[in-house]
Structure 1
Amino acid sequence: MTSTTEPSTIPVSIYVSSKANASEVELALVELLDVFGADVTESMPPIIGSWLGLRLARFRRWLTSDQSDEVVARITRAVEVRLLEQPQAEVDAKQAEAVARLLTSLENQESACIQVGSLFLLKVEGTVVARNLSPTEMSFLARNQSILKTPGLVLGALENISAAEAVPDAEQRRETTLQVREPHKGAPVHREPGNRPQDT
């Protein structure tokens, strides 16, 4: 039975600081998506005064959410292999070439931000880094697309979100550690470490 559900989509955003070879960067990104089985289906014109293109890419075949995430993970891995100059035996040749073209196209850009799903490619002060976005970070970028025009601020904002996300987990671990159950009572109580119940 054939599914009538449309193929999965992933958000794609691109910002480059110079218009000089902006079309080259865009073409390289489109070719990268093509190699991994996705086509740009929606686009908006660049914002005047900078070069910020907003895109939506759709896979050519139906994929589950997990399969879609797996494709983005493969793109991320291919980018990391190239950036770290690791052996590329585990990366498909066409995929490696597409990644190389994209990274090469960024050489003439002072700064840049490229998002493909949960993959975030950032160039600040001549250095290109790849980051795997959390759902909270993806939501933040979706609501604040204009911040992409200041890559330095983007990196700081993402680091702050990451730090904030880690705090509740630490607190939860602490609460779990401190939570004990009194004998013969069903309700849990909280007690500071080292404190013992007083005899009544």
Structure 2
Amino acid sequence: MSLIFYTNPMSRGQIARWALHEVGADYEQKIVTYGPEMKSDYQRDVNPMGKVPAIDHDGKIVTEVAAICAYLADAFPDSELAPLADERADYYRWLFFAAGPVEASITNRNMGFEVDDPKKQGTLGYGNYELVMDTLDGLFSGRDFVCGDRFTMADVYVGCQIVWGLQFGTIPERESFKAYAARLNAREALQEARAIDMKLIAEAQAAQD
């Protein structure tokens, strides 16, 4: 069994690396630099979008971070990060909520694109940024993890939205978010994955000096 991980440390590849460490996967790392490299052979052979991350698992390519996370949980069942039968509803609901409304509302807000007219907000698919944040706040005000008391792969993807959002100021500093982020930051797999990416970033910056 082979698993190739295409990434750049300055990307959402950090989320996929965390997922790889959570499932305990052995993987070969291939760093893809921004610019011509990401838009040449890599774009042709791995991801037509010319972006990272991606994984090649025994010849099968998976792109899109949420899909990579869900795939790894299924591909490595011994990790017990896929949802149990009674967790599937919450698992898929909030995984796709984070990949859709959360991503879109944060990105649009950062780009300065906001719609104030309530009649037009429905066309966005998420209403408005405040509604998305209130919905997330409501979720984590009543539970420790996406599916309740148990950490699952959904927490890797949903959690990164909150961990990074607090770090970069793209989500509000609400108590439920800070408590959730603290639980995730304590995970050994996240700390291991983060250390690798931080080292790669430091090495890249040193090479430019």
TM-score normalized by structure 2? 0.29
Structure with the higher helix share, 1 or 2: 2
Q: Report the structure number with the largest CA radius of gyration.
A: 1
Determine which structure has greater relative contact order: mean sequence separation of CA pairs < 8 Å that are 6+ residues apart, divided by chain length: 2
TM-score normalized by structure 1? 0.30
